[in-house]
Structure 1
Amino acid sequence: MSSEFIIGLAGQALYVVLKASAPMLVVALVVGLSVSIFQATTQIQEQTLAFVPKIIAVFLSLLIFGPWILNTLVDFTSQLLGNLSRYIG
């Protein structure tokens, strides 16, 4: 097995991880930015005000995008296991 093949497989795995985590990261970024702007305009400097909404938003995005994330991971795993003989030999 060549090193280019292994690097390509690792690249695919990294792409799947980024694709699966992107919805939660984007939601956390938007909520965090919104809360920061709210805190800056009202001059409220409470740490939990920034933390709790992000946790709730990430949890809700996990509930919404969970089936898609699971489907993406299952597709990659089935492709990986389906081509296992190609990877070993």
Structure 2
Amino acid sequence: MTPETVIDIMREALWLIVLLSAIIIGPGLAIGLVVSTFQAATQINEQTLSFLPRLIVTLLMIIFAGPWMLTTLIEHAENLIMRIPYLIG
């Protein structure tokens, strides 16, 4: 196995990690920004007001994007397993 192959496998894995985490974290960040702007405009300083919407959006994203995320992870693992004979020899 050459160093280029190892770098390519790591690049694919890191890109997959960034993609899957961005799908969950991105909407939570957007909702957090909207709620923070609302809190700043109305001067409401309630911690649960900023936490609960982010939690709900994160859980909804896991529910809706979860099957696609799992399929993507399984495809990546299958791809790695199928490439083992070519990587060894």
What TM-score does the superposition give when structure 1 sets the normalisation length? 0.92
Higher RCO (CA-CA < 8 Å; seq separation 6+): 1
1:55 alignment partner in structure 2? 55
2:3 alignment partner in structure 1? 3
Which blocks of at least 5 consecutive residues in structure 2 are unaligned?
none
Which blocks of at least 5 consecutive residues in structure 1 are unaligned?
none
1:81 correspondence with 2:78: no
Give the length in aligned residue pairs: 89
**CA offsets per residue over residues 19-44 of structure 1, 9 Å max, x none?**
11221111111110111011011101
2:39 alignment partner in structure 1? 39
**CA offsets per residue over residues 36-82 of structure 1, 9 Å max, x none?**
01101110112221111111110001101111101111110110011
1:67 alignment partner in structure 2? 67
**For residues 13-28 of structure 1, what are the structure 2 equivalents within 5 Å?**
13-28=13-28
* RMSD (Å) for aligned C-alpha atoms: 1.1
Aligned mates of 1:86, 1:46 — CA distance in 2 = 57
Runs of 4 or more off by more than 3 Å in structure 1? none
